[in-house]
Structure 1
Amino acid sequence: MQTFNGKTALITGASSGIGEQMARQLAAGGCHLILVARRTDRLDALASELGAVTVDVITADLADPLAADDVFERTQALGRQVDILINNAGFGFQKPLLSLPMTDQLGMVDVNVRSLLALTQRFVAPMVQRGQGWVLNVSSVSAWFPIPGMATYAASKAAVLHLSRALHEELKPFGIIVSVLCPGGTRTEFSSLAREKMDPDLEKAMMPADRVAAAGLQGLASGKAVVVPGVLYKLMVAVTRVLPGAWVARLAGSVMGRHH
């Protein structure tokens, strides 16, 4: 990851899963880090392992409407220039709309979309002034599928996909690269939290978090607009282009949205 050697990356959701793996891989390539998540103990433990580079830790709950501004102001107070923004934080539930409290529905939108948008606007503005920067937003292969049983989550990730693709073109003239990583099933805490019981077929198709993280970082370094790791998930996305929309929704519900 020589592209990012000597740069500084801010990673949200850095305490586990894809975010943690990205932190490790960037640090191995000489990239300094600002790690953001809710769990200070996890962040501190990770930071202590990455001593070869400068690592700062910011504890924040991105469901809080004020969190994005707070994170930005704290990086300013640290005197750190953020060259790479990785919006990785996110969560979801595999439950029908009426089985999930409204606070949980809106929490998904707050973390997955609103905080991502707010952080992007905050950190991209200085990048534009400098004429260089990178943004990696973590969406999901779910972004292509309206998923009965995971409707809000899939919709939130579709918003991330479309926002990122638009910003890839909008910010290119200013020297900013925006990529969106769209993983399928990945072995992380997210998967166990999202589903009360893991479907055996889905579990078999899951990719290791380090491979997904590497694909995202390589895609960002090479300026790709959209990164979908894994042949299976590339095929799934291709299917949505040829099947009628109603079929796609029913298929997604039967495969990914099982909730009984």
Structure 2
Amino acid sequence: MGGESRPEPEEVHFSVSQLRRTIGESTIHSGLSFGLRSGEILVVRGPSGVGKTVLLRALACLDPLQGGSLSLNGASPEEWGLARWRTLVTYVHQQRVAHPGTPAQHYFQVQQFASQRARPRGDLPSILGSFGLDSNILNQPWSELSGGESQRVSLAIALALRPRVLLLDEPTASLDESLVRRVEQELQTCGAAIVWVSHDPEQASRLGARVLNLPSGSEALTERRSEDEERGDEGEELV
């Protein structure tokens, strides 16, 4: 079945198996495996330069893998088709966006892509409101938005496009504490499987998320347990 003819999945299982990613002579990731289902969050942590953004870009098929495989509901990126994969598995980068025009124009243009046509949409004004923004911000030039505004608008547009997997590169890094909580609450209830890069040591606990630690040279996947279990020790190492 071609990617265009595959039905829109309501619930997903996103699988990463033995992922290997190298840049030049350097191995950034090797043998990395995990799985996520709809509504689950995996927080990725590690020092700067360890390859967190490299991982997100690989999962979105923006950069090639040197080994391993990705699948969504058992189908590879090639089986979905890369355009459809990137629609369903959406990367929201950390840098300030440099789109021309306004967010409204960008949102309209994205909806014209063949892979986006006839797909369900979220309520963009409502999502913006949950992020503390008025919908009028959609008509302001990107260049006039602050870093925090640009970050929230980009994330709101991504949510409104209803991906099944969200790849988020520090989505709350430019926000104050009250806005962080609002964004976290919206993302917790959006229903997507989320891979979330974060430097906030408390964020995974607030989100009830699993944690993927990426220290140099090793990967350890840990899972947050119940509060009663956590009183006894730090957590359980899965691999």
Higher relative contact order (CA 8 A, sep 6+): 2
Give 1 or 2: higher strand fraction. Answer: 2
Fold equivalence (TM over 0.5): no
TM-score (norm 2): 0.31
More helix by share: 1
